[in-house]
Amino acid sequence: ANSIINDFLSLAQSRVSDKEKVLLHHIIEEVSPLLWADANLRGQSVELKLSPSLHELELNVREIKQLILNLGRNGMEAMGPKGVLTLETRSTHDKVELIVTDSGVGMSESQREKLFLPFFTTKIQGTGLGVSLCLSIVERHNGKINVESVEGEGTVFTISFPLDKEEPSGVRS
């Protein structure tokens, strides 16, 4: 019950979060041992495909850690033993992308349509708040989240964070 209440309160927050300029890679490197340990217990593996050149972003580190852990663990729960979870980063001229891919069971179109609704879950023990919380975190960072999934083939979450155009040369005013 406490977990559900905490998730619901996090979801309901509309406050401006404390952000700092940071490389997304640093956050991924901090949470990857947790994902590797979880994957190891399940007989799965985690691959990192981090872009060699990535722009810094204004991020709330705690929230982005929660985003990565939620999406990573959801992916692992959708996979059987020998499943592979991949965290990938890409950078373009106007955004940085985080791509979380699992080799799990995938989702039907009707499941994808309900995915971001609070309390919708396909898990026996799920609260249905994890993915809704992820959407809330992404929106607080002015980002976008896209989901592609094929039943029997897995799911890909692509999170796009816009680059801050107000500080072109990294100089703060």
The conformational region for residue 122 under phi > 0 = left, psi -120 to 50 = alpha, else beta, is alpha
Residue 88: burial class (beta carbons within 10 Å; 0-12, 13-18, 19+): middle
Highest mean pLDDT among 63-67, 109-113, 117-121, 122-126: 63-67
pLDDT of residue 18: 85
Task: Say if residue 57's pLDDT is above 50.
Answer: yes
Task: Say if residue 119's pLDDT is above 80.
Answer: no
Assigned token pair, 173: 């005013």
pLDDT of residue 168: 40
DSSP code for 17: P
In terms of pTM, does the model score above 0.85? no
Average pLDDT, the chain: 84
Residue 101: burial class (beta carbons within 10 Å; 0-12, 13-18, 19+): buried
Q: What integer is the mean pLDDT of 144-165?
A: 92
Q: What integer is the mean pLDDT of 94-110?
A: 94
